[in-house]
Structure 1
Amino acid sequence: HHATTLADEYNHLNDNEQQQQRLAHVLEIVQDLKALSILLAAESISFILDLVCLASRRGY
């Protein structure tokens, strides 16, 4: 699953700033593709929650 790969990559970043930058980049891509629901299938709860919170703050 691509969603799991993105979540794993996100979770393995040690720097919070890097995580936030990666998350913002992922959200921009899924917004363009209108594919947020696909990423919500990821197995990483922390990734899903962070992504949903960022999407909410941006009004997506």
Structure 2
Amino acid sequence: MKKLFHYISIIVAIISLINIIQILSLGVSRLSDFGYGALVGKNILLVLSVFIAFKTKSSKKESY
């Protein structure tokens, strides 16, 4: 289950990063109040999903 959350959060992070890049490529000057809210929401989603991916990663400890 932990691995599933990890991979889902990575996919969500990639998708939200692509959406942020698309919004910024259109030009920040063309954004309305709704556009700024969407951009902030996508940023929060990106940070949250990266945090979840970082916390759920498996740590492989090697024993010698």
Question: For this structure pair, what is the TM-score category when the shorter chain's length is used for normalisation?
Answer: 0.3 to 0.5
Provide TM-score, normalisation by structure 2: 0.37
Structure with more contact order per residue of length (Cα contacts < 8 Å, sep ≥ 6): 2
Provide TM-score, normalisation by structure 1: 0.39
